Amino acid sequence: MLIKQINRNIQTPIFFIEIKLDILEYKDILISEIEKGILENSNMNFKTHIKGKMTCFNYFNDNYYFRKILNKAFSKIEVFQEIPEALLENAWGFKIEEGNRTTMHNHFDMIYSGILYLSTNKLPLMFPDLKLEIEPKEGTFLLFSGLLKHGTYKNNYPEPKYAIAFNFIEKKGWVE
């Protein structure tokens, strides 16, 4: 016997941050790592919301150069936005070529998600809830609430889009 059922939408605060970073020193190294990762047996090519080439989900978790860039980005962001303490859950690289796309999705169970663009491409990342489109530029760093839906159309441009996407989980006081 059903005792109670409630169906309703609730409002929840979200955030979206875009900054520009100088990644020239590490860009080619990271792109080379993506090219390596998409060839490994553990790759996730065409198996996820990314309908293109992708490394395994934790490929960049311990990457020295990516971690350096993350630290630089968070140092800049923390000047104007308080960021809750969190743990990097996963970080993966991808390559979106002509004819590829990213289907609309969110990372609802993550405290925040983000993306670091390693190349410039005209294929925008869309955030329909914000009525916002971001055209990827080398060094663009996005950090946003995991609840935000995002995706792209099919890439109709010859130049590939390289990026590293990542997720953070909430750090609980009782979890190390």
Cβ atoms of residues 152 and 51 within 8 Å: no
Q: What percent of the chain has pLDDT over 70?
A: 98
Which domain covers residue 75, as residue numbers? Answer: 24-116+132-146
Residue 31 lies in a domain: yes
Instruction: Please count the structural domains in the chain.
Output: 1
Residue 123 lies in a domain: no
Residue 65 lies in a domain: yes
Residue 175: pLDDT band with limits 50, 70, 90: low
Residue 101 lies in a domain: yes
Distance CA 63, CA 78 (A): 22
Residue 22 scores a pLDDT above 80: yes
Residue 46 lies in a domain: yes
Residue 1 lies in a domain: no
User: What pLDDT is stored for residue 18 in this prediction?
Assistant: 97
Residue 160 scores a pLDDT above 60: yes
How far are the Cα atoms of 21, 93, 109, 157 from residue 168, in angstroms, in the given order? 20, 16, 9, 31
User: What pLDDT is stored for residue 174 in this prediction?
Assistant: 65
User: What pLDDT is stored for residue 176 in this prediction?
Assistant: 57
Considering only CA atoms, which of 42, 46, 78 is closest in space to residue 61?
42
Question: For the residues 134-139, what does the mean pLDDT come to?
Answer: 97
Residue 127 lies in a domain: no
Residue 70: pLDDT band with limits 50, 70, 90: very high
- The whole-chain average pLDDT of the chain stands at 95
User: What pLDDT is stored for residue 10 in this prediction?
Assistant: 83
pLDDT tens figures, 27-52? 999 999 999 999 999 999 999 999 99
Residue 70 lies in a domain: yes
User: What pLDDT is stored for residue 130 in this prediction?
Assistant: 97
Question: For the residues 61-78, what does the mean pLDDT come to?
Answer: 97
Question: For the residues 90-109, what does the mean pLDDT come to?
Answer: 97
User: What pLDDT is stored for residue 165 in this prediction?
Assistant: 98
- List residues bridging with 161 in a β-sheet: 96
